[in-house]
Amino acid sequence: MTPLVSIAGLSVAFSGVPVLRGVDLAIGKGEALGLVGESGSGKSVTWLAALGLLPRHAKVSGSVRLDGREILGAPAAELDQVRGGRVAMIFQDPASALNPVLTIRRQLCEALSLHRDLQGNAVKAEARRLLDLVGIPDAGRRLEAYPHEFSGGQVQRIMIAMALAGNPDLLIADEPTTALDATIQAQILELLSTVRRELGMAMVLISHDLGVVAENCDRVAVMYAGRIVEQAPSNQLFADPVHPYAQGLIGALPPLDGPRRRLTAIPGTVPDPAKMPDGCAFAPRCTLASEPCSRAAPTLAPIADGRAVACIRAEASRRALLGIAAE
Amino acid sequence: MSPPLVEVSEISRSYSMRSGMFGRSTAVRAVDGVSLTIPKGETLGLVGESGSGKSTTGRIVLGLEPPDSGEVRFDGKPMAAPGTAAWRAQRARMQMIFQDPLGALDRRLPVAAQIREPLDIHGLGTPDAREERVRELLRAVELTPAHGARYPGALSGGQRQRIVLARALATKPDFLVCDEPVSALDVSIQAQVVNLLCDLQAQLSLTLLFISHDLRVVRQISNVVAVMYLGRIVEIGSADDLFARPEHPYTQALVSASPAPGRRSAGRIVLAGDPPNPAARPQGCAFHPRCPRAIARCAREVPALAAVGGNRQVACHLVTGAETRDAA
Ligand SMILES: Nc1ncnc2c1ncn2[C@@H]1O[C@H](COP(=O)(O)OP(=O)(O)OP(=O)(O)O)[C@@H](O)[C@H]1O
Ligand SMILES: Nc1ncnc2c1ncn2[C@@H]1O[C@H](COP(=O)(O)OP(=O)(O)OP(=O)(O)O)[C@@H](O)[C@H]1O
Ligand code: SF4
Ligand code: SF4
Ligand SMILES: [Mg+2]
Ligand SMILES: [Mg+2]
């Protein structure tokens, strides 16, 4: 089956500084893929690049196919149809994605008339239905309100309504529930999964909340410094992370019960994209790093069915497992 | 216990909401009789429903917005009237970190200049000392001078939030209101920032009001946690105890809905019903339309926040001190 979207060798550089360094990723129809990873690792940029939303000075290369058709570098008119239509994106900074001087009704109706064949009262009724759908109470009246009159969490729900306006095949949700309390978050994620089931919509869920990703995604990709370092089915990743960065990430989660302890933060910071170390980008922070790690960047290699890891140690253990002698 | 730095008594705040077509306007009670005390050097965590009035409470406590009724006292004194010299002196001792880091930063200025801004405004130190302080603050939040030279748009969400934190700490405030300060950060950096906040708090004896949806992070950093629902505090108690044994049905749902890797949704309390409409507050207990344990009385009488033993207070007709505690 051709994947809905397949990204290959996607690279992005800003003013000559590479921030995405060869991302390969495929999403099947109706699939839910989680994208987690270090702040600044390129999770947002991956999708901004794929949808042609980066500023001009960004140098983008590689390939992004939607149903087998190349969309990277496609003409603006074609991309306008893709964005908000077949592929919708909920942005990370909701306040900056809504226009503060227009009512919610204006903004929703604009999105609807752009991507749906609706006229007049039907547009308004649909706008109202969408607000209802995402659980904004008193939707009819609230349509006339401006973004600043909503709480942070309500703004986020409005963003989801806007994204659903075009009946997308793929929803890129960049931190869609960060500003919501757990009970509403649970309802929103439930809502997204219902919509997904009904419309067969695929979803990429970008989130810092490993719990949210674990519960809502079939598969998870972990990013570090512009690359994918581990890919696995959700349950396996969280039960048994292989890449040292993924292990650190899961270990840094504060517990909700038991004694409080100082959090085990991963030491150090992400390398400056302008001064990327040779070899494995995680080596300066990795407790397992050894001399060969700094020679060549490990590639993402399969270690089991549906699992792939970019770490020399994982390769070594896989070789041991398969009884292949190390060269 | 140390003397309170912040005392909030019975504050309320309503917004009027236009109703477009018919021009009627409805009052939304964003905050409805909230009282809180934060001892010096301690952290109060504020969690609760989206739209329950947490940010509004934070803004009122900081004096950014006046309450319609009720009072906020800072270091034993009532908040001065906005715009006066006394108000400015009080305000210099308090800072806020907002929910939306991009909105909080000026897109047209390099971030180092924005960290420096409060130092310039309050005239702190010589120009050289200010430059040094900016470098020190960048180091404190684990960024480099190279990051400082960038514009907000050229930083990741997490990097931007650390800039906001550095700027908030520039004037060495006594009191910090953090509104979703780490929700944009990934877990490894979140752990660093939480550790960083804990360390800075210990070093500088900072007092914090910490607003977040992330119960894990709130528990990690707070001494006491208050849970809000539709403008009111429905439960308050010490952090560890509250999350281990939530008493209010809303808190119980909140704790049970908090996702955890490796735990699928089994045994979760899923709330039925719509999220509440602040403009049409339900009669009686505001939670009753969604409450799995509601009884007839809940639709009529508003439960008062009452001590139920330990240092716990709960606003629920079914949780009444001694018996529930003993039974637990
Ligand atoms: N317009 C831009 N110009 C220059 N650099 C940029 C620009 N946008 C992003 N970057 C850089 O690209 C890298 C990847 O950023 P991106 O926003 O994708 O991170 P992210 O993984 O989404 O992080 P977060 O979890 O913090 O949102 C970062 O180092 C960031 O500073
Ligand atoms: N300026 C305003 N005008 C009208 N209504 C407002 C205004 N600010 C807030 N509100 C309303 O007041 C209520 C409380 O909002 P507030 O932002 O304090 O909630 P919150 O608890 O911080 O929510 P969240 O967790 O979603 O950030 C909401 O119903 C919101 O719609
Ligand atoms: S390749 Fe080496 S440095 Fe990189 S994650 Fe694996 S062990 Fe650590
Ligand atoms: S007072 Fe009644 S409705 Fe309210 S939380 Fe308690 S049991 Fe539920
Ligand atoms: Mg991002
Ligand atoms: Mg808020």
Q: State the SS3 of B55-71.
A: HHHHHHHCCCCCCCEEE
Quick check: A153 and B50 CB within 8 A? Answer: yes
Looking at per-residue pLDDT, the higher value among B302 and A114 belongs to B302
3-class state of residue B146 by DSSP? helix
CA angle at residue A285 from A281 to A290, to 5 degrees? 75
Quick check: B17 and A149 CB within 8 A? Answer: yes
Mean pLDDT of B181-192: 73
Helix ranges restricted to H, A38-151:
43-50, 76-82, 94-97, 104-115, 120-133, 139-142
Structure-token pair, residue B20: 């477009």
Helix ranges restricted to H, B62-110:
85-92, 101-104
Report the percent of chain B where pLDDT is more than 70. Answer: 87
Characterize B113-145 residue by residue with b for buried, 16 or more Cβ atoms within 10 angstroms of its Cβ, and e for exposed: ebbbbbbeeeebeeeeebeebbeebbeebbbee
CA atoms within 13 A on the CB side of A45: 32
Which distant-in-sequence residues (6+ apart) come within 8 Å of A183 by Cβ?
A: B49, B250, B253, B254, B257, B271
**Which residue in this structure is represented by tokens 């909105």?**
B103
Handedness of CA A168, A172, A178, A184 (dihedral sign): positive
Report whether pLDDT(B151) > 90.
yes
* The total number of residues written for chain B in this structure: 328
Quick check: B187 and A151 CB within 8 A? Answer: no
Asked whether the beta carbons of A108 and A130 are under 8 A apart, the reply is yes
Q: Tell the residue nearest (CA) to atom 28 of ligand 1.
A: A40
Start-to-end Cα distance in chain B: 27
Q: Which of B96, B107, B188 to mutate to test the interface with A (most CBs of A within 10 A)?
A: B188
Looking at the CA of B26, name the nearest ligand.
2
CA angle at residue B213 from B320 to B157, to 5 degrees? 170
Rounded to whole angstroms, the Cα distance separating B211 from A93 reads: 18
Supply the Cα-derived Rg of chain B in whole angstroms.
21
Strand A32-37 to strand A202-206: parallel, antiparallel, or no bridges (unpaired)?
Answer: parallel
Give pLDDT, residue B322.
53
- Which residues have C-beta atoms less than 6 Å from ligand 2? A 148-154, 179; B 15, 17, 28, 30, 50-56, 278
- Chain B nearest-CA distance from A55, in A, is 11
Rounded to whole angstroms, the Cα distance separating A272 from A289 reads: 19
pLDDT tens for residues B82-106?
788 888 888 889 998 876 666 778 9
Closest CA to B166 of B137, B142, B193: B137
Report the percent of chain B where pLDDT is more than 90. Answer: 49
**Which residue in this structure is represented by tokens 């649970």?**
A186
Asked whether the beta carbons of A69 and A75 are under 8 A apart, the reply is no
Give pLDDT, residue B328.
40
Per-residue pLDDT of chain A (327 residues; tens, 9 = 90+): 689 999 999 999 998 999 999 999 999 999 999 999 887 889 999 999 999 989 989 999 999 999 999 999 899 889 888 988 899 988 776 556 788 889 999 999 988 888 888 888 888 899 999 888 887 888 888 899 998 888 766 787 888 888 888 889 999 999 887 656 677 777 778 878 888 888 889 999 998 777 788 888 999 999 999 999 999 999 888 888 899 999 888 888 888 888 888 888 787 777 888 888 889 999 998 989 999 999 988 999 998 888 999 999 886 655 555 555 444
Contacts of A186 in chain B (CB under 8 A): 257, 259, 268, 270-271
Which distant-in-sequence residues (6+ apart) come within 8 Å of A55 by Cβ?
A: none
Which distant-in-sequence residues (6+ apart) come within 8 Å of A324 by Cβ?
A: none
Looking at per-residue pLDDT, the higher value among A260 and B46 belongs to B46
Which chain B residues in 127-156 lie under 8 Å from chain A, judged by CB atoms? Answer: 142-144, 146, 154-156
CA atoms within 13 A on the CB side of B220: 26
Give pLDDT, residue B32.
94
Give pLDDT, residue B325.
45
Give pLDDT, residue B24.
64
Give pLDDT, residue A206.
93
Q: Which of A17, A35, A39, A46 to mutate to test the interface with B (most CBs of B within 10 A)?
A: A39
Q: Does an H or E element contain B304, and which?
A: none
Looking at the CA of A277, name the nearest ligand.
3
Determine the distance from the C-alpha atom of residue B82 to the mean position of all C-alpha atoms in its chain, rounded to a whole number. 22
Q: Does an H or E element contain A63, and which?
A: strand A58-66
Which of B99, B143, B253 is facing A179, going by the closest CB pair? B99
Lowest-confidence segment of A294-308, B24-38, B57-71, B249-263 by average pLDDT: B249-263
Considering only alpha carbons, which residue of chain A is nearest residue B154?
A: A14
What ipTM was predicted for this assembly? 0.75
Q: What are phi and psi of B196, to 5 degrees?
A: -60, -45
Closest CA to B286 of B201, B325, B327, B228: B228
Q: Is B232 in the pocket of ligand 4 (CB under 6 A)?
A: no
Strand B77-78 to strand B69-74: parallel, antiparallel, or no bridges (unpaired)?
Answer: antiparallel
Rounded to the nearest whole angstrom, what is the distance from the C-alpha of residue A92 to the centroid of ligand 5? 6
Handedness of CA A155, B55, B14, B293 (dihedral sign): positive
Rounded to whole angstroms, the Cα distance separating A296 from A306 reads: 24
Structure-token pair, residue A209: 């909340």
* pTM of the complete model: 0.77
Name the β-bridge partners of B4: B39
Quick check: A93 and B102 CB within 8 A? Answer: yes
Determine the distance from the C-alpha atom of residue B4 to the mean position of all C-alpha atoms in its chain, rounded to a whole number. 17
* CA dist A216 → A92, A205, A220, B209 (Å): 18, 8, 10, 31
- Chain A nearest-CA distance from B124, in A, is 30
Report whether pLDDT(B74) > 90.
yes
Q: Does an H or E element contain B212, and which?
A: none
CA atoms within 13 A on the CB side of A251: 14
Mean pLDDT of B128-150: 91
Structure-token pair, residue B245: 């044994």
Which of A181, A215, A265 is facing B188, going by the closest CB pair? A265
Give pLDDT, residue A316.
64
Supply the Cα-derived Rg of chain A in whole angstroms.
21
Q: Does B249 touch chain A (CB under 8 A)?
A: no
Which distant-in-sequence residues (6+ apart) come within 8 Å of A121 by Cβ?
A: none
Where is mean pLDDT largest: A265-274, A276-285, B213-222, B227-236?
B227-236
